[in-house]
Homo-oligomer: A and B are copies of this chain.
């Protein structure tokens, strides 16, 4: 039997837990009282269930989503990158650079021709050009870079439970 840290007890989520998560996914600012009513419980167990799911890491974060265009981040670009070297150290250096760039809101390692897929936000094309040429391309060990522009957002959700 594998040992587990006390912070990550792996009791499975029951139906009530999933209902609570569903409600929280849609509205992180919903009151515990309101959740309690919807799942037909009093506030105490709801409070405790949420606390445990936070502790176990099932709940990662409560975030507020903003309208990009209204905070001067109207342009979204998908950016594919391959490195010239694939040593662990070279990879870590790249990752560190990416972590520090606020414009990069997502970075995934992917299968296929490229090593990374980035999602980059900028105010407009000029700002993106500046980012691309003066910051992204300056990272050492960068190989091929390819930009794909996002013309429209059809769907964007964070629901992992439904």
Contact with B along A148-162 (1 / 0, CB 8 A): 111111111111111
Are A58 and B66 within 8 A (Cβ)?
yes
Are A95 and B154 within 8 A (Cβ)?
yes
How many Å lie between the Cα of A14 and that of B136 in the bound state?
Answer: 29
Are B160 and A109 within 8 A (Cβ)?
no
Residues facing B in A113-162 (CB within 8 A) are: 116-117, 121, 148-162
Closest residue on chain B to residue A113 by CB atoms: B148
Contact with B along A54-74 (1 / 0, CB 8 A): 001111111111111011010
Min CB distance A49 to B, Å, is 13
**8 tightest A-B CB contacts, nearest first:** A24-B64, A28-B28, A28-B62, A107-B154, A107-B155, A109-B152, A111-B149, A102-B162
